[in-house]
Amino acid sequence: MAFRFALTIACLLAAVPLPSVRAEPVAVKASPVPLNPEDGAQRTAGALTYMGGVELTSDHDAFGGLSSLILSADGRNIMAVTDRGHWLRARLDLDGRGQLVGLSEVEMFPMKARNLVPLSGRLADAEALVDEAGGRLLVAFERYHRLWRFSLHDGLDKTLPEDYPAPPDLARAPSNKGIEAMTRLADGRLFLMTEDYVDANDMRQGWISQGTRYHTVTQEVRDLFKPTDMTVLPNGDVLLLERRFTIVGGAAARLSVISTRSIVPGAVLKPQAIAVLQPPMTVDNMEGVAATEGPGISTDIYILSDDNFNAIQRTLLMKFRLGG
């Protein structure tokens, strides 16, 4: 795999409880990480204030390759998917100041196909996750491009995935450059962005649903950053996570806001950056982002990295606060 780094309806969708699944407990060690190892006093990155972070390690064979991220209604539990077709569920450990200090009650469970056989190979590359209304999860896969919806009513150990209509043009995306970022907007439309499916004008391809149809939206390729996840903020705008990797500069991540009013058929999207993480700051292949209401008028943001099951990369979970 390539290196990848007012209450609205969106808030109501986020209030769907995370599922109770039969899963295998996984021992995970959480080691605190500073925002900047070379400057322990640094607490901000752009418009964001650092609220703690951890490096996650485990001897479990399935642990790693974490992509996309959703939060429970109370902001205390997370769920992610992996590049090898597993669900991960865990509880966030926060101190009295709301700082992220660890992860506990970690469980993993294999995703299964219609015949209840665990996913493997090119079928297992789950990259984007959306918590749907009505007790369902929507997952986007790369390599074999598709959208699958899982019902939570009988538990993920029993549910069979259902095909969910995908944009027809998605079939033309390169194998490893399909949907990486996906969210459900406040008005119910599904918003999808590809990692690196670009047209002849170097415009990155995405789609917005309208009823049963999809319409194209595009984003100008900027500074080698590529979308990896997105989520809806409490005010209805979209928070976009992008990653970059270069031999000289190493890994970097960028968080930007897309006005929901600008997400219309045929739009050329213009995300507005609010923070960039790059060396010497702590950063890796950031592929998951989730947001929830924080104290007062603030928003709490979590970002998660995908280590690609590579010994020289790390699984990082970091918390930031916007505003307030």
* Residue of higher predicted confidence among 285 and 74: 285
pLDDT at 153: 77
pLDDT at 156: 66
Residue 57 — pLDDT band, cuts 50, 70, 90?
very high
* Residue of higher predicted confidence among 266 and 2: 266
Please, are residues 65 and 80 in contact by the beta-carbon 8 Å criterion? no
pLDDT at 16: 40
Domain boundaries, given as residue ranges, for the chain: 9-322
pLDDT at 15: 37
Q: Is the pLDDT of residue 21 over 50?
A: no
What does the buried/exposed string (b/e) look like for 63-87 if buried means 16 or more CB atoms within 10 Å of the residue's CB? Answer: bbbbbbbbbbeebebbbbbbbbbbb
pLDDT averaged over the chain?
90
As a whole number, mean pLDDT of residues 29-43 equals 97
Distance separating the N- and C-terminal Cα atoms of the chain: 39
pLDDT at 148: 96
Q: Is the pLDDT of residue 67 over 70?
A: yes
For 189-203, write each residue's pLDDT tens digit.
Answer: 999 999 989 988 889
For 207-239, write each residue's pLDDT tens digit.
Answer: 999 988 999 999 988 899 999 999 999 999 999
pLDDT at 314: 97
Which stretch, 16-30, 122-136, 198-212, 270-284, has highest mean pLDDT?
Answer: 270-284
- CA angle 282-219-14, nearest 5°? 65
The verdict on domain 9-322 having CATH code 2.40.50 is no
For 161-184, write each residue's pLDDT tens digit.
Answer: 999 999 999 999 998 899 999 999
For residue 186, CA distances in Å to 11, 138, 161, 172 come to 8, 16, 25, 29
Residue 10 — pLDDT band, cuts 50, 70, 90?
very low
Beta bridge partners of 115: none
Q: How far is the C-alpha of 250 from the C-alpha of 32, rounded, in Å?
A: 21
Q: Tokens representing 1?
A: 């795999």
Please, are residues 296 and 64 in contact by the beta-carbon 8 Å criterion? no
Nearest to 102 by CA among 25, 32, 36: 32
Please, are residues 215 and 263 in contact by the beta-carbon 8 Å criterion? no
Q: Tokens representing 316?
A: 């990082």
Task: Note if the pTM is more than 0.85.
Answer: yes
For 300-315, write each residue's pLDDT tens digit.
Answer: 999 999 999 999 999 9
Lowest mean pLDDT among 135-144, 145-154, 284-293: 145-154
For residue 200, CA distances in Å to 172, 203, 205 come to 14, 7, 11
Q: Is the pLDDT of residue 154 over 60?
A: yes
pLDDT at 19: 42
Q: Is the pLDDT of residue 296 over 80?
A: yes
As a whole number, mean pLDDT of residues 81-104 equals 96
pLDDT at 9: 26
DSSP state letters, 91-119: EEEE-TT--EEEEEEEEEEE-B-TTSPBP
pLDDT at 53: 98
Q: What percent of the chain has pLDDT over 70?
A: 92
